[in-house]
Structure 1
């Protein structure tokens, strides 16, 4: 029985070490996430997404993606990546009238859709707060 107790103690310690091995460095990332946030700092893609979002999207969708009086929040109910890409490239319409123009031909946004999505995904997941994020350095 003593061997079993040592095994359980070892398992508990190993589990605690695995959980705590990141120390206090909250790291947010998984296979289906486009962003990476470590110790409150974002990767280059997410930082670029922040910059691109605030260069054009925030005028309608509000600061940090929280929405406005005439455009929906992009963080309260996030779209999946394919729907987001279609909406940004092709625009959105409602009852035949254009709600949002498409940005397929805009070199400031079209190539950076995934970066913008990464930023909004981090905001929606709570991995990133409001305001300019700090950037990790390579």
Structure 2
């Protein structure tokens, strides 16, 4: 049998490894990122963005932000947050393509950053297509 000091050292090593594994699974939000995804599960903000996106944006920009015949993909070329906010709230006209603004729409205007979080997670490959799982608080 080992001595007490050896047992303490072994226990400390096991706990350190377990803590390191837990930290890897608990990815913290990265600067410049509006989302947090761990093991394919989205934080509340990103999950709400998924719901809001699919309540209206998908009609033009396609399921999961992949684009359609008349609106561009948002996951292949997501603008920065400021440009995204301007386009969603004020609308946008680009040649023959026109998007109305949603500044007066209570279902979208307050949730622009949530929608962006979802699309940013899709763009980065942190979320796949379809409904994401939800992180538990």
Indicate whether the TM-score tops 0.5. Answer: yes
Runs of 4+ in structure 1 deviating by more than 6 angstroms, as ranges, are: none
The answer (yes or no) to whether the contact 1:27–1:39 under 8 Å persists in 2 is no
Alignment partner, residue 32 of structure 1? 32
Q: Partner residue of 1:101?
A: 100
In structure 1, the partner of 2:133 is: 134
- Normalised to the residue count of structure 1, the TM-score between the two structures is 0.80
- What corresponds to 1:89 in structure 2? 89
Contact 1:89 1:103 in 2 (8 A): yes
Q: CA deviation at 1:70?
A: 0.6
User: Partners in 2 of 1:83 and 1:60 — Cα distance?
Assistant: 18
Q: Which stretch of the first structure deviates more once superposed, 119-128 or 20-29? A: 20-29
User: What stretches of structure 2 of length at least 5 have no aligned partner?
Assistant: 1-16
Aligned ranges for residues 1-138 of structure 1 at < 5 Å?
Answer: 21-22=21-22, 25=25, 27=27, 29-95=29-95, 99-138=98-137
Task: Provide the rounded CA distance (Å) in 2 between the counterparts of 1:72 and 1:98.
Answer: 10
CA–CA distance in structure 2, aligned partners of residues 57 and 108 of structure 1? 11
Q: Work out the number of aligned pairs and report it.
A: 119
Shift of 1:40: 1.2
TM-score, length-scaled by structure 2: 0.80
Alpha-carbon distance in 2 for matches of 1:79, 1:23: 31
Q: Deviations over 1:5-24 (max 9, x none)?
A: xxxxxxxxxxxx7xx63577
SS in structure 2 at match of 1:75: coil
Residue number in structure 1 paired with 2:7: none
Unaligned runs of 5+ in 1: 1-16
Aligned partner of 2:4 in structure 1 is none
